[in-house]
């Protein structure tokens, strides 16, 4: 008798694959043996500048960020990665370049390491995964292009509203100075934008 797969408890990444990649539960169970899970304490660096990034990181629990340091030592946040997000230095992981960025745990975080071996086996196992992986790459490029456009031409208010749309659950999880760094503005400017938006949205009874 075949086991009842409906009662199998899935980990967050396997559930994510079932819901978004269009692959079957049998394929997920086959691929799960290739996965490695690692936990990182808050403040731990998963990737350091100058190192070669060997994995993409899928966040099952917690919160990561990637950032760069300019010549003066100022931080510039590139991306946040809460639950069910991927984060990686693509130029490093795909071209074996030394990383120009850091990846850090903002909270105690549990991740799945997604290496080349897993991607190759998933592509062989499921045509649906190949299509999903291509879409994931193009979606990443689309978001980065939008982010560049916002940094080059949008007001601080528009950038902040875009941040809320992108990361609706992070306002209370991320320090304000990190949000300001992501937006490319000062913490003082962010405070001013928040006050102006609160004033616009305030409706006296």
Sign of the C-alpha dihedral computed for residues 116, 60, 140 and 129 taken in this order: positive
- Summarize the confidence of residues 156-181 as an average pLDDT: 95
pLDDT for 116 beyond 50: yes
Q: What is the pLDDT of residue 1?
A: 41
pLDDT per residue as tens digits for the range 62-101: 999 999 999 999 999 999 999 999 999 988 998 999 999 9
Q: What percentage of the chain has pLDDT greater than the value 70?
A: 94
Q: What angle do CA 100, 105, 109 make, to 5 degrees?
A: 135
Which domains can be identified in the chain, with CATH numbers?
A: 5-128 (2.60.120.10)
Q: What distance in Å separates the CA atoms of residue 75 and residue 125, rounded to the nearest whole number?
A: 41
Bridge partners, residue 201, by sequence: none
- Summarize the confidence of residues 9-27 as an average pLDDT: 88
pLDDT for 26 beyond 70: yes
Q: Which of 47-56, 71-80, 137-146, 157-166 has the lowest mean pLDDT?
A: 137-146
More confident residue, 1 or 123: 123
pLDDT for 3 beyond 50: no
Contacts of 49 (CB under 8 A, 6+ apart): 68, 69, 98, 99, 100, 101, 102
179 C-beta neighbours (distance < 10 Å), count:
22
Q: What is the pLDDT of residue 9?
A: 67
- Summarize the confidence of residues 177-186 as an average pLDDT: 96
pLDDT for 4 beyond 50: no
Q: Which of 5-9, 64-68, 78-82, 201-205 has the lowest mean pLDDT?
A: 5-9
Measured in degrees and rounded to the nearest 5, phi and psi for residue 165 equal -65, -40
Q: What is the pLDDT of residue 125?
A: 86
Q: What distance in Å separates the CA atoms of residue 59 and residue 85, rounded to the nearest whole number?
A: 6
More confident residue, 52 or 203: 52
């Amino acid at each position: 008798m075949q086991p009842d797969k409906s009662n199998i408890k899935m980990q967050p990444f396997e559930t994510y694959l079932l819901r978004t990649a269009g692959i079957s539960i049998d394929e997920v169970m086959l691929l799960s043996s290739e996965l490695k899970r690692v936990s990182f304490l808050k403040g731990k660096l998963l990737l350091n500048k100058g190192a070669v990034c060997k994995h993409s990181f899928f966040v099952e629990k917690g919160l990561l960020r990637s950032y760069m340091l300019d010549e003066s030592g100022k931080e510039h946040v590139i991306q946040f990665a809460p639950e069910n997000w991927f984060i990686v230095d693509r130029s490093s992981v795909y071209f074996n370049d030394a990383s120009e960025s850091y990846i850090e745990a903002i909270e105690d975080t549990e991740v799945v390491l997604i290496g080349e071996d897993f991607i190759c086996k998933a592509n062989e196992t499921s045509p649906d995964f190949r299509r999903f992986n291509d879409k994931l790459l193009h979606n990443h490029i689309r978001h980065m292009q939008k982010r560049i456009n916002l940094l080059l031409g949008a007001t601080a208010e528009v950038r902040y509203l875009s941040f809320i749309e992108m990361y609706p659950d992070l306002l209370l999880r991320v320090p304000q100075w990190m949000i300001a760094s992501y937006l490319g503005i000062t913490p003082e400017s962010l405070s001013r934008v928040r006050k102006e938006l609160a004033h616009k949205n305030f409706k006296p009874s």
